[in-house]
């Protein structure tokens, strides 16, 4: 059923939820193909090799490529950089030798960085650095690196990863620590200064995926069941033009990376109180979400929650002077006792069924809906929405002007379109706001049957501000 308000706007709650697989860990081994010359079409002329490798292979004549490289290009000066099918990521080196390796390729063509591919073990600090594939050009995507800090070195309390929720929370805390070190303490010295166009120095920065307000499982930082800490980040290998700058690279691998490990991946560098609070607060949020169904609820909004955000593109809590905290109407108030914090929290419980939120403009209806929409995720302490939770089978429905609709029966809502267009099997490459909303509701209804059959629960959130 659709409601058609006349003098006020309102919102309807209902719910389905789809959670994407956010775990996209890098492969442990990766087939690497090293530099072969320019990026022309296959079958093109081979590079003008003047290095020892090309002299041995072709003499002093021009060779022809094997159909893979292509294009005219300058040969490299070391025989290690021809075509290879070696799984370089299986190679193991002593981390103490990385400086010598970099000095050896100093001043050479940029693809010589491929010699770094493999696993570098530091038995003194207790970590392994794996470089699966280095970038072939200073303007290409940066080199992906993975560091594994052994449990005996990280020394995380076993209680911090005793279950999956705690392990995800601990990894999130470490991720934020790594990001802060990378972007604050190292930023001033990371990037090479100068520029000077194409031939100037470039690269040298270290980056990791930026965290947001949500605590979800991801591959940037993970705490394994063994207690090992795994972090994945990128390094933009330094160069001048397309010539390797070994001195700066040595600084990155012998100073910057070990510094980041010590400051962000070891428990000794953390504030123990903050770390413990972060992990236990996340577990309390997850526990609260599991209590909804047994209490005949689909969502809960804690008293004292700060729901407004800074802007539509900034999800941090609103910090203006007129921020208003949320408090539940007395008729909808429920309470829960948190297991870790050991305190009772009160708030608004939204029961299963249809709940209508009515109010004038700028009264917070959409703000409340946005908070409920993201109630399927745990948030960092201090977000303001820590105890705003929804059942996991939740989604938000809205009009999508311009969406594609294919063979959807929208007759329960619309049955009289111009030119006699059939609404029992409605299709459009550019649906209007009303037809797209009707199609969304019908598609959710079909999904509802499936989810109800298997899960006995559904919760849909609709904002009528975007329908009218």
35 contacts 81 by C-beta, under 8 angstroms: yes
Nearest CA to 148 out of 168, 169, 174 is that of 174
Q: What is the pLDDT of residue 38?
A: 40
Nearest CA to 341 out of 388, 387, 298 is that of 387
Q: What is the pLDDT of residues 302-335, one digit of tens each?
A: 999 999 999 999 999 999 988 999 999 999 999 9
Residue 48 has φ and ψ, to the nearest 5°, of -80, 80
Residue 434 CA, chain-centre distance (Å), reads 33
Q: What is the pLDDT of residues 1-41, one digit of tens each?
A: 333 333 344 455 654 444 444 333 333 333 333 333 344 44
Question: How many Cα neighbours within 13 Å face the side chain of 318?
Answer: 14
Strands (E), 125-283: 127-133, 143-149, 201-202, 206-207, 214-215, 221-223, 229-235, 239-240, 243-244
Confidence tier at 443 by pLDDT (50, 70, 90): confident
Q: What is the pLDDT of residues 353-378, one digit of tens each?
A: 888 888 888 889 889 999 999 999 99
Pairing of strands 394-397, 459-463: parallel
Percent of the chain with pLDDT over 70: 73
> Exposure of 81 by Cβ count < 10 A (0-12 exposed, 13-18 middle, 19+ buried)?
buried
Q: What is the pLDDT of residues 201-212, one digit of tens each?
A: 667 889 999 999
How far, in Å, CA of 357 to CA of 361, rounded? Answer: 12
Does the pLDDT of residue 437 top 90, yes or no? no
């Amino acid at each position: 059923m659709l409601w058609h308000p006349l003098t006020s706007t309102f919102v309807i709650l209902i719910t389905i939820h789809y959670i994407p697989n956010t775990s996209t860990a890098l492969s442990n081994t990766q087939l690497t193909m090293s530099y072969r010359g320019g990026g022309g079409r296959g079958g093109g002329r081979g590079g003008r090799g003047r290095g020892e490798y090309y002299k041995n292979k072709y003499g002093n004549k021009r060779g022809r490529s094997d159909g893979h490289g292509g294009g005219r290009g300058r040969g490299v000066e070391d025989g290690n950089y021809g075509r290879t099918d070696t799984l370089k990521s299986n190679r193991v080196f002593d981390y103490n030798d990385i400086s010598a390796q970099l000095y050896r390729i100093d001043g050479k063509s940029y693809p010589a960085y491929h010699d770094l591919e493999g696993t570098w073990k530091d038995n003194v600090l207790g970590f392994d650095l794996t470089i699966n594939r280095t970038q072939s050009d200073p303007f290409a995507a940066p080199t992906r690196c993975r560091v594994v800090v052994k449990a005996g070195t990280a020394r995380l309390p076993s209680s911090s990863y005793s279950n999956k929720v705690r392990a995800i929370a601990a990894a999130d805390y470490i991720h934020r620590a790594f990001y802060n070190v990378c972007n604050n303490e190292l930023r001033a010295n990371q990037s090479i200064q100068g520029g000077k166009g194409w031939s100037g120095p470039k690269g040298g920065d270290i980056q990791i995926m930026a965290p947001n307000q949500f605590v979800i499982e991801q591959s940037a930082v993970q705490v394994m069941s063994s207690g090992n800490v795994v972090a994945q980040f990128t390094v933009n290998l330094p160069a001048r033009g397309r010539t390797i700058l070994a001195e700066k690279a040595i600084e990155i691998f012998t100073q910057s990376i070990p510094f980041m490990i010590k400051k962000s991946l070891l428990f000794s560098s953390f504030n123990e109180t903050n770390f413990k609070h972060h992990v236990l607060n996340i577990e309390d949020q997850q526990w609260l979400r599991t209590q909804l169904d047994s209490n005949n609820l689909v969502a809960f909004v804690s008293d004292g929650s700060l729901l407004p955000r800074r802007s539509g593109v900034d999800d941090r809590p609103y910090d203006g002077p007129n921020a208003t905290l949320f408090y539940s109407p007395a008729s909808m108030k429920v309470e829960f006792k948190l297991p870790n914090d050991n305190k009772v929290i009160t708030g608004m419980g939204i029961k299963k069924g249809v709940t209508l939120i009515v109010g004038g403009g700028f009264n917070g209806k959409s703000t409340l809906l946005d908070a409920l929409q993201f109630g399927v995720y745990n948030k960092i302490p201090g977000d303001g929405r820590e105890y705003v939770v929804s059942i996991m089978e939740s989604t938000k429905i809205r009009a999508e002007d311009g969406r594609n609709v294919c063979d959807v029966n929208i007759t329960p809502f619309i049955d009289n379109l111009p030119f006699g267009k059939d609404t029992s099997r409605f299709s459009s490459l550019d649906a209007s706001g009303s037809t797209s909303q009707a199609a969304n509701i019908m598609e959710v209804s079909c999904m509802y049957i499936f989810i109800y059959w298997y899960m006995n629960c559904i919760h849909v959130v609709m904002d009528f501000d975007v329908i009218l």
